[in-house]
Amino acid sequence: MDAVIDIALLALLAVTALAILRMRNLFAAVMLSGIYSLLSAGIFTALDAVDVAFTEAAVGAGISTVLMLGTLAIVGHKEKKPAHTPLLPLFVVLVTGGALVYGTLDMPPFGDPTNPVHHHVAPRYVEESGHEIGIPNIVTSVLASYRGYDTMGETTVIFAAAVGVILLLGGARPARVAAGEVSGGSEEGSEPLEEQSHG
């Protein structure tokens, strides 16, 4: 039963990805990418990764869809038809995909408990975290305690990204818009951007 759910959801995911690729209306593509995230959250649940599933559902299907929609409100949602033939990209993608498929032939089989990935530190976390940390959720124990430095690094990255977004869209903008007004040119996009900074 597990295998059936897995196969069906992964097939749906592949179809959704292809639909996103073919979609010229970016609004529809963004909504499909929300569906894509939700489907992958379902797959993560089926693969026992419940923490990852709800993070993906909240962050992937929620926040990034909202961010993309906010951007589309400013830049417009029509994608132009590509002018050049996609032969070279298609060739690159097929060769890369072929190399990766060749690489998977040596992969240990899916779901086998003797796979190398299950040996090194993972058993220790499973066996010891219960009385070392005292939290039933092993993922939380590893995230917040054993690998707390990783999480601190993650926080640093998010802080850097937030600073980047603020610098790109925040502070510098009023001066720039004012300069545009002084020179008499009404810059395209300045009005919706102001709306966004209020929202």
Partner 1 sequence: MRLLGLYNYWVVIVLMMVGFYTIIARDNLVKKLIGLSIFQTSVFMLYISMGRIHGGTAPILMEGTDVVYSNPLPHVLILTAIVVGVATTAVGLSLVIRINEAYGTVEEDEIHSQDESL
According to CB under 8 A, which residues from 52 to 81 bind partner 1?
52, 55-56, 59-60, 63-64, 67-68, 70-72, 74-76, 79-80
Choose, by CB under 8 A, the member of 8, 28, 112, 194 that binds partner 1.
112
Which residues inside 3-42 make contact with partner 1, applying CB under 8 A? 3, 6-7, 10-11, 13-14, 17-18, 20-21, 26, 29-30, 33, 36-37, 40
Inter-residue contact 171 to 161 (CB < 8 Å): no
Collapsing DSSP to helix, strand or coil, 89 comes out as helix
User: Is 154 an interacting residue with respect to partner 1 (CB under 8 A)?
Assistant: yes
Which residue among 8, 28, 126, 178 contacts partner 1 (CB under 8 A)?
126
Least Å distance, CB 32 to partner 1, is 9
- Tell me whether residue 84 is exposed, middle or buried, using C-beta atoms within 10 angstroms of its C-beta: 0 to 12, 13 to 18, 19 or more: exposed
Q: What are the C-alpha distances in Å from 24 to residues 28, 70, 76, 77, 85? A: 8, 18, 12, 9, 16
Q: Which residue has the tokens 């132009």?
A: 80
